Chains A and B, each alone.
Chain A
Amino acid sequence: MAAFFRWLRRNLVVIAGLFTLGYLLLPNVVVTVFSFNKPKGRFNYSWQEFSLDAWKDPCGVADMCGSLSLSLQIAAWATIGATVLGTMIAFALVRYRFRARGAINSLIFLPMAMPEVVMAASLLTLFLNMGAQLGFWTVLIAHIMFCLSFVVTAVKARVMSMDPRLEQAAQDLYAGPVQTFLRVTLPIAAPGIAAGALLAFALSFDDFIITNFNAGSTVTFPMFVWGSAQRGTPVQINVIGTAMFLVAVLLVLAGMLVGRRRNKQAK
């Protein structure tokens, strides 16, 4: 008994870590398990029997893959738009002194702090008053807008910690303005830009409230899932969820491998 307590004391941190990990991953496990279910009726909420049907035919539900592809497109364009604009804003805010800089610096955080549903409603009012047709473009514009603040925050932190002498050193070593930006500024700011882009992609792909207000008759993947939850949940939703989880895990593993190889080279 005493030996057990000693073992427990020594491994308490690991055990706590494993419990936390389990808590975080349990929903994913449920999603994955139920992607192999063969439900009776329209709702996939109770386990019946193992089946690969849904995995063999992931697009078997009407309109689902269409909404998925639309969500991916919007997320990709919103990421590109928000990352380019946000990076430029971040550089401007850190590097230059201009009028209204302080105001922009604090206003840029407003979309993060404002309740989403308020922003969604006011955007809808704006679009309707402008006579804009709701659809792909209105959703994209809204997504770029709320992703911007996150990109600016991530990139700004990185640019602020960057020594301006590095760029002077590059110039001193025969790199013109373009070369300096491409060879020194951009690579050093890259981790911040990548973090901002990842955040933007996840936020845009995932967004429901703002999208639902401004999509008109267009249906994105989150809207499809919510809509189908009223009428019945196809197993394919779990398939898509599991597949996305796997892709994310693979990306993280690949990133870790590249990092480890780089470190080995350096040693």
Chain B
Amino acid sequence: MTSAQETGGDVRLTGISKTYGSFTAVHPLDLTVPQGSFFALLGASGCGKTTTLRMIAGLEEPSSGTVHLGDQDVTALPPYKRPVNTVFQSYALFPHLDIFENVAFGLRRRGIKSVKNQVGDMLDLVQLGEQARKKPHQLSGGQQQRVAVARALINHPKVLLLDEPLGALDLKLRRQMQLELKRIQTEVGITFVHVTHDQEEAMTMADTVAVMNGGRVEQLGAPADLYENPRTTFVANFLGTSNFIEAEIQAGAARSGDDLVLKAGDCKLTLPAARCGGPATTGGKVLVGVRPEKISLTHADDAGQIPEGRNRITGRIADSSFIGVSTQYVVHSPVCPSFEVYAQNVERDTRLVPGAEVVLHWNPAHTFGLDAAQSLLAGTTGSAGVEKVEEDASA
């Protein structure tokens, strides 16, 4: 086994960018997708994720930079000479060919004569052996999607590119196809690069997620890492929900392992210095973030029972909605107008109803700190958030 073979499926983008006239779709970008991994490009529409994918496929010419597959520089190669295949959004199956010929298309174009067994095996892999002689329009959306995957995979590409392949399916089928794609990827071991705007989809399927915003990669990492340690408000809001408190550093940390002590209104909060993305000097402003499900709610009468060493904030329940597995509370607090808290429905305290005075408390290890000089709403689905995204894109 040579090292060239082991890295044959690496995708390396170096300083790649794309501009259309005065509009920059993708800012110069460096990205390495290791061989055999399931990589997701996640972002809202217009963030440059599809353009990036199309530059890997060769369907879009980069304005600058290079694309490498393994050791090969493919920047100048046309799409039909790249060992890369794409599953297109809405599939782009050839309407005049039957399923068998659709799947055999790539093999035939490369001059392979005996395609029957290979196509049969591939159709079995996606459980469509019975449908070989049907035309694409006679299949359901989920079946068409599987044909599109089979048509690309049969060529044993070094990299499979997926352009929002599940966007047209209904929710239940989408969940099923997510698991199916993950199974196929594990089975064939090919590098998958998956473009999606669905954060849940990216987190379920991918080993590594790159969150894109305004033509730039905001953050890159494993799904759990991105979720627990977002480095920008955009990532914190786009992946799940976050609560933010504006705070001032009262005491800096001597060493990186220490905690920072912060002051927000009358509250004192602790934040591990290693989890602070902003300036960690005394007097500096930071945004303190915490996920809604990390927070415990205790009625103000029982405040004495809360263990020492936890971050705590007082407030009043403004709203609560029961959604089965959990109850979602909105809490008004002097430091944050609407704090979201998700509580599992075990041993529910019947006093926790709108109007009740409560104490919110959580383990400081679940706190993250961000630079205060950014919009709180970036990455949210509200109109303010979208406006912010557009501003970023045109900046």
A126 proximal to B (CB < 8 A):
no
A250 proximal to B (CB < 8 A):
no
Identify whether the interface residues of A are mostly helix, strand, loop, or mixed: helix
Report yes or no: A166 in contact with B110, Cβ–Cβ below 8 A: no
Cα distance A187–B151 when bound, in Å? 19
List A contacts of B79 (CB < 8 A). Answer: 168, 171-172
Write the nearest CB–CB distance from B213 to chain A, whole angstroms: 26
Task: Output the residue of A166, A168, A184 with the most chain B CB within 10 A.
Answer: A168
A169 CB contact (under 8 Å) in B88, B96, B135 = B88
Write the nearest CB–CB distance from B36 to chain A, whole angstroms: 21
List A contacts of B98 (CB < 8 A). Answer: 266
Report yes or no: B106 in contact with A173, Cβ–Cβ below 8 A: yes
List B contacts of A179 (CB < 8 A). Answer: 109
Interface size on A (CB < 8 Å)? 21
Which chain A residue shows the least CB distance to B106?
A: A173
Mark each residue of chain A from 154 to 182: 1 if its CB lies under 8 Å from any CB of chain B, else 0: 00000000010110111111111001100
B304 proximal to A (CB < 8 A):
no
List A contacts of B229 (CB < 8 A). Answer: none
A172 CB contact (under 8 Å) in B86, B93, B134 = B86
Query: Within B41-90, which residues are at the interface with A (CB < 8 Å)?
Result: 57-59, 78-81, 84-86, 88-90
List B contacts of A267 (CB < 8 A). Answer: 134
Interface size on B (CB < 8 Å)? 30
Mark each residue of chain A from 175 to 197: 1 if its CB lies under 8 Å from any CB of chain B, else 0: 11001100110011000000000
List A contacts of B85 (CB < 8 A). Answer: 172-173
Which chain A residue shows the least CB distance to B134?
A: A266
B186 proximal to A (CB < 8 A):
no
Report yes or no: B94 in contact with A169, Cβ–Cβ below 8 A: yes
List B contacts of A166 (CB < 8 A). Answer: 92, 94-95
Write the nearest CB–CB distance from A183 to chain B, whole angstroms: 8
Which chain B residue shows the least CB distance to A190?
A: B96
A265 proximal to B (CB < 8 A):
yes
Report yes or no: B92 in contact with A173, Cβ–Cβ below 8 A: no
A266 CB contact (under 8 Å) in B58, B80, B95, B133 = B133
List A contacts of B185 (CB < 8 A). Answer: none
Write the nearest CB–CB distance from B160 to chain A, whole angstroms: 11
Cα distance A219–B169 when bound, in Å? 63
6 closest Cβ contacts across the A-B interface? A173-B106, A169-B92, A165-B92, A174-B109, A171-B79, A187-B96
Q: Which residue numbers of A lie inside 8 Å of B, CB to CB?
A: 163, 165-166, 168-176, 179-180, 183-184, 187-188, 265-267
Give me 11 A-to-B residue pairs in the complex whose CB atoms sit less than 8 angstroms apart, sorted by A's number: A163-B90, A163-B92, A168-B88, A172-B86, A173-B106, A174-B80, A174-B106, A176-B80, A188-B95, A188-B96, A266-B98
